[in-house]
A and B are shown apart, each in its own frame.
Chain A
Amino acid sequence: MKIYTLKTKQYLPISIEKAWEFLSDPKNLKTITPEYMKFEVVSGADRKMYPGQIIQYIVTPIAGIKNKWVTEITHVKNKEYFVDEQRFGPYSLWHHKHFIKEIPGGVEMEDIIDYKIPLGILGQLIHPMIVKPRLKEVFEYRKKKLIELFGTIETKASNEIIFV
């Protein structure tokens, strides 16, 4: 059983309040997701984020095949972190931690995702060919859109998307 981890950091020149308001609103996910994925929030995003919140989405990640995703917001600490976990969707496991913290000039946004793909050995074979490049593309797009929306902060820390 292989569990993969994806880690990203990005530095935004905005206040922690503004970062939290934007990042914790599921309606903004559409803005920072590639258009070809046709991301749509179906339900559950009509209130401010809270633990136990179920959000349903439709995404079209590969070959025009529509996928329904259901995630639960399991943990929320105001202006510090929140966690979403897949309850129904294409992954066997999807556990996404979103952290933000204040730094000089803005905020550091850190994402840590632990995920597992189905289909056993076959899944492990397709991971480097399909899943990993697609996730990298999605997070690169998000980074670019956030820079367009807010700008960026120069830091010595790495801005890379790391797969473990």
Chain B
Amino acid sequence: MEHFSNEFCQIDLYDQYAILTINENVEFSLGRASILRDKLKKHYESKSFIMISHRKFEHKVSPEIYKQGVLDNMKGLAIVSSSDKERDKAILEQPLYGKSFAFFSTLEEAKAWAKSFF
């Protein structure tokens, strides 16, 4: 597992999935997403993986990320939160992301889902 953190996020890169936690009150913009994209490209190269977005903290996600910032080998996105508010936000994000998309209340469920693709 490879761990990376900077001023706006923390990410753990496993073989089949990455767990991303964005810090509180961050606006997750296209520019910030491209920093992560480089990390993901370097780690996974052309290998498929699932992104798990662990929404521990409230933050904004720019819709532009879904239009321009998603890697082809990112096969699915899991949103993890036990908050109804985060879930409502995720419902709005789902149509923007054209691939597999799931909601979970625990990280363990999301990890099991990610593993089921491989």
Query: Which A positions have Cβ atoms within 8 angstroms of B?
Result: 13-15, 104-106, 147-148, 150-154
Contact = CB atoms under 8 A, between A and B. Distances in A.
Interface in B87-108: 91, 94, 98-103
A13 B101 contact: yes
Contact of B100 (A15, A148, A152): A152
Contact of B113 (A106, A147, A152, A154): A106
**What does DSSP make chain B's interface, helix, strand, loop or mixed?**
mixed
Nearest first, the 8 closest Cβ-Cβ pairs linking A and B are A13-B102, A151-B102, A154-B99, A153-B100, A151-B101, A154-B100, A105-B117, A104-B117
Nearest to B95: A147
A14 B78 CA distance: 11
A152 B116 contact: no
Contact of B94 (A105, A106, A152): A152
Given A150-B103, A152-B102, 17 more contacts: A13-B78, A13-B102, A13-B113, A14-B102, A104-B116, A104-B118, A105-B76, A106-B100, A106-B113, A147-B94, A150-B102, A151-B100, A151-B101, A151-B102, A152-B101, A153-B100, A154-B98
21 contacts: A13-B76, A13-B101, A13-B102, A13-B113, A14-B102, A104-B118, A105-B76, A105-B100, A105-B116, A105-B117, A106-B116, A147-B94, A148-B94, A150-B102, A150-B103, A151-B102, A151-B103, A152-B94, A152-B101, A152-B102, A154-B98
Nearest to B103: A151
A150 B100 CA distance: 11
A147 B94 CA distance: 8
